[in-house]
Amino acid sequence: MGLNFFVPFSGTKHGVKDHVITILSYNWPLSVKKIYNLIRKKYSLNITYQAVYKTVHELIKMRILVRAGERNYKLNLKWLKDLHSYTELTETNYYTKKRHNLIMGILDAKEEGSMSLLVFETFFDVEKYLYYLQKNFVLNNNDKSVICIHHNHEWRPLFYLRAEYNWVRKIQELGGETYVLCAGRTPLDKWCAKFYKSIGLKIKTGVNCAGLSEIMVFGNLVIQIFLPSMIKNKLHEYAVKSGSIEELKLSRLAMDVFEKKAEIKVVINKDSKLAEQIRKETMSHFKQS
């Protein structure tokens, strides 16, 4: 049976199903009688016990609820997980549509043939867009080609530790692999690389890459991020001067680098041959001698 995408409070009036799901979202497991009493108490509804009993059993048939003991019920965690995946995918699809002007942080957008040029206001805006773009591609395609990334310095786990962990794990679950080359070899780069390696991502620091632009490749997309010199130099300054992660002043780093207003150009090119060329070059760094 496929997933039933019943979404609570999706209508103008809240029905019995909405109230049953809401009650069980913060208090479980419960019997039909307790659900009935809580609905009457919390929402002051003139509803019968028979209506609640019927609704609970309808939700069981829909696999939204499951039994928890002989007479108690709770939400089906699989339904919750599938619903989360569905809404996440829908959000990603909407975010990555070509209506670039609707996306916060984009100053300008141009398209010509297979190439797009986007201009962002901050580094954080760039990262947010690329995160959704990558997620949209991976979740919507059966393409298991390797994802490749070239960075000047690694820093993402400092701000997105849990998100990075979850994303790497998600790619692995889908049968994908990610290879990262990092030009820097500072304590910051090494700390981030150690984290990535611990969760199965392949990364090498101190590699001559990302000279003119940082690069991401997934599928047939080649994405180049052209960081202004002031952003690139400031990030390098923080990375070099900090002898350890503990010495990094994250709030200052965020303000001086990632929230600093600038014109950051991102070029997205659909070119399968170029993508494969970069992919092969990247993976050659990981071949054993």
pLDDT at 131: 87
Neighbours of 100 (CB within 10 A): 17
Q: Does residue 87 sit within a domain?
A: no
Residue 79 contacts residue 63 (beta carbons within 8 Å): yes
Assess whether 77 and 105 both reside in one domain: no
Helix (H) or strand (E) holding 145: none
Residue 120 contacts residue 139 (beta carbons within 8 Å): no
Assess whether 210 and 245 both reside in one domain: yes
Measured distance CA(64)–CA(56) in Å, rounded: 9
Nearest C-alpha neighbor of 124 from the set 249, 225, 268, 237: 225
Assess whether 161 and 61 both reside in one domain: no
The structure's pTM equals 0.65
Q: The domain spanning residue 44 has which CATH number?
A: 1.10.10.10
pLDDT at 84: 72
List, in order, residues 6 or more apart from 189 with CB less than 8 Å away. 153, 154, 182, 205, 206, 239
Domain end (from 82, 108, 124): 82
Assess whether 173 and 111 both reside in one domain: yes
Q: Does residue 88 sit within a domain?
A: no
pLDDT at 284: 94
- Each of the 289 residues of the chain gets a pLDDT tens digit; together they read 344 445 454 444 568 888 899 899 888 899 999 999 998 888 878 889 999 999 999 999 999 999 998 899 999 988 887 777 666 656 655 555 554 444 556 677 777 778 888 899 999 999 988 888 888 787 777 777 799 999 999 999 999 999 899 889 988 888 889 999 999 999 999 999 999 999 999 999 999 998 899 999 998 999 999 999 999 999 999 999 888 888 888 899 999 999 999 999 999 999 999 999 999 999 999 986 4
Measured distance CA(281)–CA(179) in Å, rounded: 11
Domain count along the chain: 2
Helix (H) or strand (E) holding 33: helix 32-43
pLDDT at 76: 92
Assess whether 252 and 126 both reside in one domain: yes
Chain centroid to CA 192: how far?
Answer: 18
Q: What is the DSSP string of 144-206?
A: -PPEEEEESS--HHHHHHHHHHHHHHHHHHTT--EEEEES--SHHHHHHHHHHHHTT-EEEES
Assess whether 198 and 280 both reside in one domain: yes
Nearest C-alpha neighbor of 40 from the set 15, 19, 55: 19
The burial of 222, by beta-carbon neighbours within 10 Å (0-12 exposed, 13-18 middle, 19 or more buried), is given as buried
Domain end (from 59, 82, 105): 82
Residue 235 contacts residue 155 (beta carbons within 8 Å): yes
Assess whether 194 and 251 both reside in one domain: yes
pLDDT at 14: 61
pLDDT at 92: 54
pLDDT at 91: 60
Assess whether 251 and 157 both reside in one domain: yes
Residue 77 structural domain: 16-82
Assess whether 108 and 46 both reside in one domain: no
Neighbours of 24 (CB within 10 A): 21
Report the chain's C-alpha Rg in angstroms.
24
Q: Does residue 1 sit within a domain?
A: no
pLDDT at 46: 83
pLDDT at 1: 35
Taken as a whole, the chain contains a residue count of 289
Assess whether 46 and 161 both reside in one domain: no
Strand partners, 214: 225
Q: Does residue 157 sit within a domain?
A: yes
List, in order, residues 6 or more apart from 261 with CB less than 8 Å away. 121, 122
List, in order, residues 6 or more apart from 36 with CB less than 8 Å away. 47, 49, 52, 53
